[in-house]
Amino acid sequence: MRRRSLLSAALAAPLATAGAVGALQSPAQAATWSSSDRWGSWRTGAYTLYNNVWGNGYGPQTIWANSASNWGVWADHPNTGGIKSYPNVSYTLGRDVWSMGNVSSSINVTNPTGSGLAYNTTYDVWGNGSAHEIMIWTQWTSNVGPIGGYVTNVNLGGRNWNYFQGHNGANPVYSFMATSQFTSGTVNITPICQWLVSQGRMPQVRIDQIQFGWEITSSAGGRNFNVNSYSLTT
């Protein structure tokens, strides 16, 4: 599924950049699959990886993968506002929110640092096709933020989240931002989805695609985003 536009508010990052790298990275060269096509995708087992360069004003981006649990992206997007891409790994669950079972995911990622960056590391969970969007932010730079306004702080699945709610013009967006950002750990997805329904904030939907990756707004000069390990338990 292609990523919808207007998913989060993001400001342009400063023009200074550091640590530029070439377009062909060694992980991509050694990978089982790679693609520089905007809509490049690769299915492996029950998972699909998407390059997914969907935003305006984008630069070059190459996705590579050895498996659904070991993949990454090299991206060189200019320091302008607006999300340029959402490279991700996707799994389709297709279960009603009350019978989705105990769905959890564990990640270990290496993200770029330095100036000239604007991005967030996030799960994107879709209900009833693309009618409802649940975003679970695990880490982000200071110059990006979720759609909508702050509602409350809530503890779900053993973690504290700041909950935001808004609309991107196409569908409601329910955003959970970790109060303690992390690049390695586990997210319990089921209690987050069921809390939204129990609180009357989202209807009783079918949970369809569960995606994980990065919303990248700027990464000028070329930066690497790596998934060292990823698992999804359903």
pLDDT of residue 28: 55
Kindly report, residue by residue over 127-141, the tens digit of the pLDDT. Answer: 999 999 999 999 999
pLDDT at 9: 36
Q: Name the one residue in this structure whose structure tokens are 């089982």.
A: 32
What span, in angstroms and rounded, lies between the C-alpha atoms of 42 and 66?
11
In a domain, 174, yes or no: yes
Q: Does 55 reside within a domain? A: yes
Name the pairing type of β-strands 223-233 and 104-110. antiparallel
pLDDT of residue 206: 98
Q: Is residue 36 part of a domain?
A: yes
Res. 154: pLDDT tops 80: yes
Domain count along the chain: 1
One-letter-per-residue 3-state SS of 35-61:
ECCCCCEEEECCEEEECCECCCCCCCE
Supply φ then ψ for residue 197, to 5 degrees.
Answer: -70, -45
Residue 54 lies in a domain: yes
Task: Please give the pLDDT value at position 23.
Answer: 36
| Angle (nearest 5°) at CA 157 between 212 and 69 | 30
Q: CA 92 to CA 54: how far, in whole Å?
A: 21
What global pTM score does this model have? 0.89
Q: What is the mean pLDDT of the chain?
A: 90
pLDDT digits (tens, 9 = 90+) for 65-120: 999 999 999 999 999 999 999 999 999 999 999 999 999 999 999 999 999 999 99
Q: Is residue 2 part of a domain?
A: no
Residue 29 in this model has a pLDDT that exceeds 90: no
Residue-range definition of the domain harbouring residue 81: 8-13+23-233
**Tell me, what's the pLDDT at 17?**
28
Q: What pLDDT score was predicted for residue 27? A: 54
Residue reference for tokens 């609180």:
199
**In-domain check, residue 18:** no
- CATH number of residue 94's parent domain: 2.60.120.180
Per-residue pLDDT at 1 exceeds 60: no
